[in-house]
Structure formats: structure tokens, C-alpha cells
Structure 1
Amino acid sequence: MNYCKIAVLSIGLLTVSCSTQNVESAKTVSLSQKAEKLTDIKYGSHERNVMDIYLPADRSPKTAFLINIHGGAWVQGDKKDNGKLSEYLLSQGIAVANLDYRYANLTDTHLPELLDDIDHVSKYLSSHAREWNTRKNGFSISGGSSGAHVSLMYAYTKNPQIKTIIEMCGPVDFTDVQTLQYVKAANLLDVLNKMSGNKVVWNPGDAIPEAYVKTSPAKFVNQIPTMIIHGDQDEVVPIQQAYILEKALKAKGVQYKLVIVPGAGHLITKLPENEQTVFTNVVEWLKKYGTN
């Protein structure tokens, strides 16, 4: 037998063997990943630019990764408000960035600045994708109340690479006169003006301020699959807002799902049965539209 051929064959077999071992080794590393929680990670220069990162076991770049935004009328609230949902998503194999962001005010912090904060989060997650073995883009986004509003505006106007949106009990159209009348009666025009940057005093019968038009998600709907979750007894954001967004999504032919939670108020997860309904729907939606 030709000894040169034997040597070449042996080297070839050794190379294949090593290559196979490397692949198996990589699989072992991937499968041995443990769930991790990283707390108070700084993603920007402001004192409120901090977030908690939830990384599930056995994650990969195809794992759904949710940017989770708390509510609080744009001027209060904390990431800890979404802690229970984030822990549940972690248990279901979904990665989460649960964040704080700047509060709106009447001077220098309005919706554009809030959206900048969310953008910094997205870029931070992307830059750490290799380190964490997570996706580099195609994040999902969610929020409750004002956090839902910020989520929608970020996905519809600033980052079209968002894979899917889940909005819970969010205001979506500040050009709706009935809604504005409700907002005024509830003494919430001040916080609406802080978010939108509006300087005009609005009264029933007046023209809709341009700032309200520019900060209404229903006016900027795009093709990102969107889930709407709303309680039919919401005492803060009328359920009519959910139907307005549904109509806008339907008109654009967007994939969407509307989940009405019977008997639920603005704090939609207050009752255990409602919490389970919300959490289950969120997981199902993210596994359908937030992966790959």
C-alpha cells in the first residue's frame, strides 16, 4: 500500500474527528448555559438609565428577547413593577431587558428623549449579543400603560427592526376628542403635555395640538405584528383606545391579536386569573413572533 496515501487518509480522518469534537464541544457549551440575571446594568449616562437583564438557560441567537417598559404616566414608575412578568418570561425561556428610563418633564425631556433611551438599550443588547449568546437584532418590545405607548412609538417610528410589539392598556390616539375630554376631566393633561412637549392649552372645541398628533401611535402603524391586551373595565385608559389601534392595524393589514380581559381594570394583572391570562398570551405571542 502507498504509505503517502495512508498518511493523507490518517490526517484527513484526524481532521474530521477534531472537527466533530469541536462541534460536539460547542453543543455541550451551549446546552450547559445557565439562566442568569444581571441587575442595574448601566446603558446610558442618566441616573435612570439602568436595566435588569434576564437570560434564560440554553439560549441562542434565535431566542426571543423582550425590551420591557414600565408604566407610570411617563413621569413615575420603576422597572421593579415588571419584575414578576420578567421572572415568568425567564422561566419560559425568553430573555428580557427590564428597564428604567428618563421621566418626562415640561422643559427638556419629552417623547424623543424617552425613545432615545430605548434606542440606547437596543444598541447595548446588540453589542453584548456575542458575550451573552443572544440575538443581535430583531428584539421584541412591550409595555403597560404609558410604557405601552412608548413601546408602540419606538417600534413604529424609530426602530422598524423590532420583531413584534405587545401593548397592554396603552393610550394610542391623542387626537380622539372623547379621549382628550376624559384626560382633561381626570387632570392628566399636564402629564400628556410633559410627554408630548405640547405648550398649547387645550379645551373641548379647540383644534387638536400638533404635538398630540405626532405622539399618537395609531397614526404611525407599520407592519410589525402587534398584540393588544386591555381590560374591559379600565378606569384610566378607556378600552376605546384598544379598538382604535385594532382598526388602524386592520386597515394596514398588520398581523395582530386583541385580547380583552373581562372585568379587568387598568391594573390588568391584579387578579391571579387575569395575570395568568396576560402572562400566557404574552409567552405564546413571543414564541410565535419573537423567535428566529
Structure 2
Amino acid sequence: MNYFKIILMTVGFTVLSCSTGHEISGVENSVSPTKEEVLKNVKYGPFERNLMDVYLPANRDPKSAFLVNIHGGAWTQGDKRFDDKLSEYLVSQGVAVANLNYRYADLQDTHLPQLLDDINNVVKYLSEHSKEWNTRKTGFSISGGSSGAHVSMMYAYTRNPAIKTIIERCGPVDFTDIQTLQYIKAANLFEVLDKMSGNKAVWNPGDVVPELYAKTSPIKFVNKIPIMIIHGDKDEVVPIQQAYLLESALKAKGTTYKLVIVPGAGHQIEKLPQDQQTVFTEMTSWLKHYGTN
């Protein structure tokens, strides 16, 4: 099984970007709470990739769900455009979305903590503009696909206990699993994992698992935040076993969760129209239940 293969690649399909909306960079724009608004390329932090598209639903209020969404791409690639369709669907269903870019991990000084700093700056920006937008000030929801799912879980579990709910889509959860590490080594993929984790040690079969692999494994930090897991049972990148490992940890913790298995779906879980509809409707239902109030 070609584990984590597509995590190393830019997603191989095109998502059209919403052409309407405001182009802003830290500039106050007048918005109406009764109308759907899309604010494009909002500058939320000091770095080049600190841009997000903010989707504000019509007739919103401070109790409406507000999702922070993180794209995939092996922590080193990808773009918020990957999730334009998801954002457009959710806003049409009354869910606000901040669909964001964030710094890429590297071997020098940008690792998971720096990525989480970017997510934290997004949440701060959303909170600071809640009155202007008539949106919630706290209690945001968070989601991501693939490596974005990993980042979303780590943010909720280690940085922000006020996150109301998590939706993780096809994410890796355990980098201490020996079988997983053996595959990563055989596929020469440790550089990507080390960019994210900041690990500098060389792992060989029989060695102790590096501490930074444990410290960046969401399964080690599971808490009571309600979570939805969405995974294809034919995922060729992050095997569905990762979802089952997370499910076991959630059960042990007594966490409210839902596991959605998409039959026949691979890592590009939204590739087929019927699978995309399943993912989008499941997410909407979950967010309206656990992301509101």
C-alpha cells in the first residue's frame, strides 16, 4: 500500500475559486449580516502565506457554526483553493468558514508549532472581527483534509480547548506505529515527517521511536472534544486503519464521536460526486449540531 504517497503531492484535481467577494489585506470592509459575503485573501498574519478566504452566510448570528478549515498537502504543499467547493457548500447551508493558507513546514525553523501559531492567529482574527461580521467570538469548529486534518487535531488538542468540535478527513493520527514507520522509511518519506515534527534523528527498525514523532501524533492527545472522522475504506495514502486506531482512543476516553466510512473512496475522498455529497452533508449535519450555540 502506497502509504502517504499523495500526502507528498499537490491534489490532482482543479477546484474553481470563487470569483465574487472582497479582496482585502487587513482592511475593514462593510458587510451585512443578512447577506452572504465572501472576503477573499484576508491577511491574518505577518507571513506571505497568512491569507484566508472568509465565507459569511446570510442571516448569520453569533450562535452560527464557524469552521476553520485547513488544506492538505503534506505540510509542505497545497492551497486553500483545494477546499473552495466545500466552503461554498457550507456557507450556502448557513455555516461560516475561514478557509486558509498557512506556512509550509521546512527543515530549518518552521515545524508543527509554527503551523499551529498560524492557526491561532486565524482564530484571534476571527474573534476580533466577530462584532463587525455578526459571528461568534469563541467556540469555533475546525477541520482539515489529510495533513490538514492532522494539524486541525493537534491545534484543538494542544492549543485551544475552546474548539467546539473537530472534523478530520483522512488524516494520519499515529506516527509511533512501527508498521507505519517502516513504510515511511522504505518509501524515503522521512524528510516530510521530519519537516513537520522537527525531528533530526535517523530512525531505523529496532530503534526507539523519536520523541518528536510521539509529540506530533494526535492520538496521544485525544480529549473530550466531539469529533467526526471521515475516511474512505480504499484510502491508498492514509490507510483506514488510522481511523480505527483513533476510534479506539476516543472510545477509551469516552469522547463523543462519529466514524463515517465512505465505501470505495480513496484518499481523494471527494473525487466522485456522490462521495462529495456524502462528505458535505455529513459535515453540515455535524456542524449544525455540535458547532452551534
Is the pair's TM-score, using the shorter chain for normalization, greater than 0.5?
yes
1:225 maps to what in 2?
A: 226
1:251 maps to what in 2?
A: 252
| Distance verdict in 2 for CA 1:32–1:53, change over 3 Å | closer
1:190 maps to what in 2?
A: 191
Q: Is the 8 A contact 1:148 1:170 kept in 2?
A: yes
Indicate the structure whose relative CO is greater, using CA pairs within 8 Å and at least 6 residues apart: 2
Q: Is the 8 A contact 1:179 1:238 kept in 2?
A: no
Q: Is the 8 A contact 2:57 2:92 kept in 1?
A: yes
3-state SS, counterpart of residue 258 of structure 1: strand
- In the alignment, the residues of structure 2 paired with residue 153 and residue 32 of structure 1 have an alpha-carbon distance, to the nearest angstrom, of 32
For 2:180, give the aligned amino acid: T
Instruction: After TM superposition, list the pairs within 5 Å mapping 1:1-292 onto structure 2.
Output: 33-292=34-293
1:204-257 residue CA offsets vs partner (Å, 9 max, x unmatched): 221100010000000001110001011111111111110111011110000000
What do you get for the CA RMSD once the two structures are aligned? Answer: 1.2
2:3 maps to what in 1?
A: none
For 2:254, give the aligned amino acid: G
1:177-199 residue CA offsets vs partner (Å, 9 max, x unmatched): 11112222333211000000000
- In the alignment, the residues of structure 2 paired with residue 83 and residue 31 of structure 1 have an alpha-carbon distance, to the nearest angstrom, of 22
1:77-128 residue CA offsets vs partner (Å, 9 max, x unmatched): 0000010000000110000000000000001000000000000000000000
The 4+ residue runs of structure 1 with deviation greater than 4 A are: none
Instruction: State the 1:166 CA deviation.
Output: 0.2
1:110-169 residue CA offsets vs partner (Å, 9 max, x unmatched): 000000000000000000000000000000000000000000000000000000000000
- In the alignment, the residues of structure 2 paired with residue 32 and residue 253 of structure 1 have an alpha-carbon distance, to the nearest angstrom, of 38
- In the alignment, the residues of structure 2 paired with residue 63 and residue 133 of structure 1 have an alpha-carbon distance, to the nearest angstrom, of 9
- In the alignment, the residues of structure 1 paired with residue 188 and residue 95 of structure 2 have an alpha-carbon distance, to the nearest angstrom, of 38
| Distance verdict in 2 for CA 1:115–1:203, change over 3 Å | same
- In the alignment, the residues of structure 2 paired with residue 127 and residue 229 of structure 1 have an alpha-carbon distance, to the nearest angstrom, of 31
2:24 maps to what in 1?
A: none
- In the alignment, the residues of structure 2 paired with residue 72 and residue 106 of structure 1 have an alpha-carbon distance, to the nearest angstrom, of 16
Structure 2: give runs of 5+ residues left out of the alignment. 1-30
Count of residue correspondences:
263
What TM-score comes out, normalization by structure 2 length? 0.88
- In the alignment, the residues of structure 1 paired with residue 33 and residue 98 of structure 2 have an alpha-carbon distance, to the nearest angstrom, of 22
For 1:231, give the aligned amino acid: G
- In the alignment, the residues of structure 1 paired with residue 105 and residue 33 of structure 2 have an alpha-carbon distance, to the nearest angstrom, of 43
Which has more helix, going by share of residues?
1
1:25 maps to what in 2?
A: none
Structure 1 vs Structure 2: percent identity of aligned residues?
75
Q: Is the 8 A contact 2:230 2:260 kept in 1?
A: yes
Q: After alignment, is 257-266 or 175-184 more displaced?
A: 175-184
3-state SS, counterpart of residue 116 of structure 1: helix
For 1:157, give the aligned amino acid: T
- In the alignment, the residues of structure 2 paired with residue 174 and residue 103 of structure 1 have an alpha-carbon distance, to the nearest angstrom, of 19
Whichever of the two has the greater Rg, that structure is 1
For 2:272, give the aligned amino acid: L
- In the alignment, the residues of structure 2 paired with residue 135 and residue 187 of structure 1 have an alpha-carbon distance, to the nearest angstrom, of 44
- In the alignment, the residues of structure 1 paired with residue 86 and residue 219 of structure 2 have an alpha-carbon distance, to the nearest angstrom, of 26
3-state SS, counterpart of residue 60 of structure 1: coil
